[in-house]
Amino acid sequence: MWFSKSINDTLKELDVHPETGLSSEEAAKRKKHFGLNELEVKKKKTVFQIFISQLNDWLIYVLLAAVVITFLMGEYVDSVIIVLVIAVNAGIGVYQEVKAGKAIDALMKMSSPKALVKRDSHTKEIESSELVPGDIVILEAGRIVPADLRLIETANLQIEESALTGESVPENKKAEEIYGDPKTPVGDRENQAFMTSVVTYGRGAGVVVETGMKTEVGKIAHLIDNEESTKTPLEKRLNDLGKLLGKIAVGICAFIFILSWFQGRDLAEMFLTAVSLAVASIPEGLAAIVAVVLSIGVTSMSKKNAIIRRLPAVETLGSVNVICSDKTGTLTMNKMTVTQIFTSDGLIDLDNHRKNEIPHAAKLLTKGMILCSDATLEGGDCTGDPTEVALLVLGDAINLDRKNLLSNTKRINEKAFDSDRKMMSVLVKEEDGDYKVFTKGALGSLNKVCTKIFTDGEIREITKFDLENFSTAAGEMSDHALRTLALAYRPAHRETKPEEMEGELVLVGLVGMMDPARDEVKPAVALAKKAGIKTVMITGDHRNTAFAIAKNLEIAQHIAQVITGPELDDYSEEDLKNNVDQYLVYARVSPEHKVKIVRALKANGNIVSMTGDGVNDAPSLNAADIGVAMGITGTDVAKGAADMILTDDNFSTIVKAIEQGRNIYSNIKKSVIFLLTCNLGEVVVMFLALAIGWASPLIATQLLWINLITDSLPAIALGMDEADPDVMAEKPRDPKENFFSNGTGLLAVIMGVFIGLVTFFAFWYGYYEMGYLPLDKELPEEVVKNARTLAFMVLVFAQLFYSLGLRNMKKNIFQIGVFSNMYLVGAIIIGVLLQVLVLIVPVMREAFKLHMLDQKGWMMATILGLLPLTVLELYKAVFKRI
């Protein structure tokens, strides 16, 4: 019962010093003893269980019944072939499901929360699963508590524990509290923080007391099923489409069977043929192939710094036409450097100033900034906000002894930063025993609470001239794209409460920081513009600073395209909706404004991507069509609300992700159109031949073989096609658009019918070349076999070769490169080799009831097989010229 022990007793029992934390060696020992800090998850299906689930389909049941019937009829070869087809199809399904599952697991692992810990006297960020009892964990707003902690330090710390207590109001935490009652409820333990709860305000530190299943949340959830459903809206729509087409196919097959009965055909044979046609023509693999293509796509995206947390986001990415991006760290490098200092002594340009000639006011300013910082900087390694890191670097630059300052100054209390006040304050005890409050924040906010000014080493009343002087200096810094931060202080006493800190302050000065734009952003903005995507910059900077950067990046051209947060407040919801499209830069905005901006943009029919990193950004990330969180500077709360996480916090990665999203959608579309076209071709040739009284062009085993060769490998290979470099020359896709829009559906029907007619002709020619016609009476068995063999070969060749033309609906196969998708080339070669193998190996030829083709037959099979591809290429040349 850690809540009943004092801080010292807890640290003593866990054998750890709060200043140094555990050593790496000790942490490794404890990890070996206690295991990983993870909750148990529901056991995943074994490969065998997945295999069995693949057989749980009514079509498979019908095929299994067909196996029994053919076996009883003595058609043992047919039975074996059908069983093999079932097994191979199920095997492909297992491969697809396992691959998709692994991809999702990897993405979930990559987006799992991190923990800020002290180890080996250094503060570092590690995977939360690596935590062990005794680790010293730093807590700050936006972080998810990574294990059960006994708090050892709190500064206005508030934690939301609704997952455990059901209470949505954050709990105030006090490290010094001790509870004697062993039955103290979880919700009343103010000296503890619990795994999965969220820090909403303030700062603190705690020592890990329980990990994994021994935590409070672990006790509640003995088994947690964290496997999110990977069914996307796209997969669901394709599932529904598959079922609809399946019903149509079954209807046609039932009609064929009834027709055969009236025609006096062999019912047992026709039953098998009808069932096999149903299996071959129903695109039951649609959703599975989509899942594989999506998983391959998102895995590729994660390697390029974009982690997709929710698969539907991939589909939405292709429709994004507005990217709302934070400036700091996303458009800029987030490597702040203080270049100017302004105090009442005047402006100091640090690039041209000697370090030993820094005035007292500038030193006081730097000292206060460091004491107001929660960042760390040790030997080049840093943690925390880049702005605060820059202030530590400033201290080193002017030869201020940070280590000595921090060891001789103790922080007693603080008032954390929030976006409404735009400042934060700390109460510190100095080496001489005096207490001071230091407040850093926006100059405009500090001006309202400052009554005095520090000048010439003394404190005097602040004047209107002083305020104007500081405002002018800040304005000039802003014009040069510098971000400004001001500091004030006042004498205090130990009992000064947070709400009393920010009043009657002494203004000391301000710093100007440069955050250079990323080199790759400007080309990315231009590429987005070419793709019909508008870039909108959102920042807390002043109007002039924001415009200077936006103009440099070619986001905005004139100052009228900039609007500030206070100006936004004057707009009604309807006014903002009517005017939002004319603004490209939003300056001095708070997270609450971001929600308004997103809603207004969406109300005008835009598909919006919004970036965010703070706790308060979660609502805007949820409101956007694609919420994008920062992987480096982003809080756990922001990451949890996002659809996508940028591991490099880079704007250009968003544009690349949109490009990849468009290509993934395009590849899925190719696979779907290919499957539907091929399946339609099979139905057409069977329906036509049987409807006019001809023999069945294909028997059951041949149909199943075609299904195996053409419905799997080429379809997946199309889904893995190379990215189209011209995809960003197209406008964003209308979210209401489906795979069959813009004439694609009509083309699929026409080409499906054409493939069916070509195969139908091949079937007729197979009779003709041997001197017979399909309706002749007493046809020799070898003649029928020859006709079926030609139809069989032509149908497979036609489908395999046709896949090459579907890679791009504007460029011909030579423009995109015949061998630029080696997966597809491999699939076609394998398909052709297997097809030839079936024909030339006597045992297989007999099993599939085929006839060895002569030279003319091979020539016809090749020419007719290439015909659909040729027609498609001619169509592109005539109607789809670029």
Q: Which residues are catalytic?
A: 326
DSSP letters, 317-376, are HTT--EEEEEIIIIIB----EEEEEEETTEEEEGGGS-GGG--HHHHHHHHHHHHT---E
Angle, helices 651-691 vs 781-805, to 10°: value is: 160
Q: What's the one-letter identity of residue 370? A: I
Q: Measuring CA to CA, how many Å separate 475 from each of 470, 483, 544?
A: 9, 10, 8
Helix and strand numbers (H, E) in the chain are 33, 26
Question: What is the β-pairing status of strands 482-492 and 458-461?
Answer: unpaired
The alpha carbon torsion through 491, 496, 500, 506 (nearest 10 deg) reads: 10
The H or E element that residue 596 is part of is helix 591-603
Dihedral angle sign, alpha carbons of residues 246, 247, 252, 254: positive
Q: Say how far apart CA 114 and CA 635 lie, in whole Å.
A: 10
Rg (C-alpha) for the chain, rounded Å, is: 35
The alpha carbon torsion through 875, 876, 878, 881 (nearest 10 deg) reads: 170
**Structure-block tokens of residue 268:** 């047992």
Note whether 690 and 259 are within 8 A (CB). Answer: yes
Question: 3-class DSSP state for residue 310?
Answer: coil
Provide the 10 A C-beta neighbour count for residue 49. 12
HEC readout, 123-180? EEEEEHHHCCCCCEEEEECCCECCCEEEEEEEEEEEEECHHHHCCCCCEECCCCCCCC
Q: Please, what's the largest Cα pairwise distance for the chain?
A: 119
Q: Which residues contact 42 (CB under 8 A, 6 or more apart)?
A: 223, 224, 225, 226, 227
DSSP letters, 453-469, are EEETTEEEE--HHHHHH
Q: What's the one-letter identity of residue 176? A: E
